[in-house]
Amino acid sequence: MSDSLERLYLAVLAARDLDPATSRTARLFQRGPSKMAKKLAEEAIEVVIDAVNGDTDAVIRESADLLYNLTVLWASAGVRPEDVWREMTRREDMLGIAEKLPKSSMKLPKVASPRVAARRPIVALEGRTARKRH
């Protein structure tokens, strides 16, 4: 998936300087970060609504739109996909799975606390829930 996102990110960068009359991406760049943020939020809401309605195909379609609008916002904000992968790897190293770090752990001690060290790594998502290694 990261390859697809990275290809899309490069395509978005390439489209930035195209004619806004023919390129949605160029038009989004012309209209600026607030429009990009609005579109991203709209897509997120569409994914939520379709998921709540159990419309799997729509969730897939809207998720692709969400990821497109996210890469546009990344490009506008000077964020590269590898920056996000690095953060996800950092979280995975700390917590066994790419999840939000507790606020207190954002300033991590050099040596993981016993609590963190004791956590068994969550190795993979099986189905829809992560399973701890026993």
Ligand X SMILES: N=c1c2ncn([C@@H]3O[C@H](COP(=O)(O)OP(=O)(O)OP(=O)(O)O)[C@@H](O)[C@H]3O)c2ncn1[C@@H]1O[C@H](COP(=O)(O)O)[C@@H](O)[C@H]1O
Token pair 């001690």: residue: 109
Task: Choose which of 2, 4, 11, 60 interacts with ligand X (CB under 6 A).
Answer: 11
In the complex, what is the shortest distance from the CB of residue 35 to ligand X, in angstroms, rounded to a whole number?
9
According to CB under 6 A, which one of 5, 13, 18, 44 is a site residue for ligand X? 18
**Per-residue three-class SS string for 26-84:** HHHHHHCHHHHHHHHHHHHHHHHHHHHCCCHHHHHHHHHHHHHHHHHHHHHHCCCHHHH
Closest separation between CB of residue 9 and ligand X, Å? 10
- Taking CB under 6 A as the criterion, which residues in 23-42 touch ligand X? 23-25, 39, 42
Q: Count the residues of the shown chain that bind ligand X, applying the rule CB under 6 A.
A: 13
Amino acid at 95: L
Please give the structure tokens belonging to residue 81.
Answer: 């996909």
Q: Give the binding site for ligand X (CB under 6 A).
A: 8, 11-12, 15, 18, 23-25, 39, 42, 64-65, 68
